[in-house]
Amino acid sequence: MSGYQKLVIGLLAFLQFTIILDFMVLSPLGAMIMPALRVLPTQFGLLVSAYAFSAGTAGLFAAGFTDRFDRKKLLLFFYAGFVAGTFLCAIANSYHFLLVARMVTGLFGGVIGSIVFAITTDLFDYRLRGRVMGVVQAAFAASNVLGLPIGLFLANRWSWHAPFFLIAGTSLAVGVIIVLFLRPINAHLSQRADKSPLHHFVHTVSTPRYLQGFAATVLLATGGFMLLPFASAFTVHNVGIPIERLPLIYTVTGVFSMIAGPLIGRASDAFGKFTVFAVGCAGTIVMVLIYTHLGVTPIQIVILVNVLLFIGVSSRMISSSALITAIPSPLDRGSYMSISSSLQQISGGIAAAVAGMIVTEAPSGAIEHFDVVGYVLVATTLLTWFMMYFINRRIEGAASLPAAA
């Protein structure tokens, strides 16, 4: 890799850190937001899914246009909207205000992930994308190590509004760095043959090999969106961990996940992306079944379970992200990533809403029927493994044709 490519990886990872933190911070704050705004579990599920639904809608509308602009300019436009939406979350003082703020944040923030993947695919060869995705996806773990503990500390020290002020300020600084150091990314514009955004969109959603990738993306998102929104409340009220100890759990889990991310990415490039994905699926299934059946448990065991669960999830996400980038052709890359991101957000939003209907809150605050959510995640993981197997065969078959020639 060149020095500039390494700089781009760092910028994209830091950008992903702010986007992921904005989404993830809502879940651990649930134990504070629900009583502060008098929010029921069903309503809190809608708070989480509102971001996803608006992000999915925005991605679908943007799909026909994403390959028509310089990706740097497109990134900055949506990132500016994301910062504004996060600031609205910070000043929200009612359930409905926060709901609208989450929708605004999702309209802009949800599209950014697809732009990041398109940039990654534009600038890095397929043989290197595992390690690139490993670093970029390590932002998920970094948000646990740095963002969530700091956010929870600020929330415990002042109020649940404080983390959103932190994210808005940090994101603004990241935007300035992108303006100064990221070069234009417009090589795809010289290759674009399709002049109609609508026709480009229809072509992308009707290509058979793309449909297979979209279906796998939908299933990949379902489990996590069902599990995460109620994880903090489950840990506090069912597992018996005081809310003041949640930052410790997130910190230790994040440290191990952040170390594992780049290693998982390198393993994907060395041993095969589907092989690592299959191992991650197996680990995820085992740990989800253990996690969702925990009773009152010592914090050391809770930390161990969380670490192993997040490593399993990271193995799935890093390897599958690198594998799926090989599906679209360069001309359709931005459109494909945008639609894929939209489907991921929409399916995740539905999953969060369904989880809100599955789980109930006992008078003591305990989360009931959380084990059912775990069973659903296991089922979607198995289906995703089955679909990714055939996607991998298709990609390997297409790669072998030039080699044989």
Q: Is residue 404 predicted with pLDDT exceeding 60?
A: no
Asked whether residue 23 carries a pLDDT value surpassing 80, the answer given is: no
Give the list of residues 6+ apart from residue 388 with CB closer than 8 angstroms, or none.
Answer: 216, 274, 277, 320, 323
Domains, the chain:
3-398 (1.20.1250.20)
As a whole number, mean pLDDT of residues 210-216 equals: 85
**Average pLDDT in the 376-382 region?**
89
Q: What does the CA dihedral 199, 185, 188, 9 come to, rounded to 10 degrees? A: -100
Mean pLDDT, to the nearest integer, of 94-102? 89
For residue 300, name the pLDDT band (cuts at 50, 70, 90).
Answer: very high
CA angle 139, 143, 144 (to 5 degrees): 120
Res 52: pLDDT: 73
What is the residue type of 262? P
Task: Pick the more confident residue, 259 or 150.
Answer: 259
Tokens of 187: 């090589």
Q: Tens digit of pLDDT for each residue in 224-237? A: 677 777 788 888 88
Three-state secondary-structure class, residue 206: helix
Residue percentage of the chain with pLDDT more than 90? 11
* Residues 6+ away with beta carbon under 8 Å from 246: 28, 152, 232, 235, 236
Best-predicted range by mean pLDDT (53-62, 191-200, 378-387): 378-387
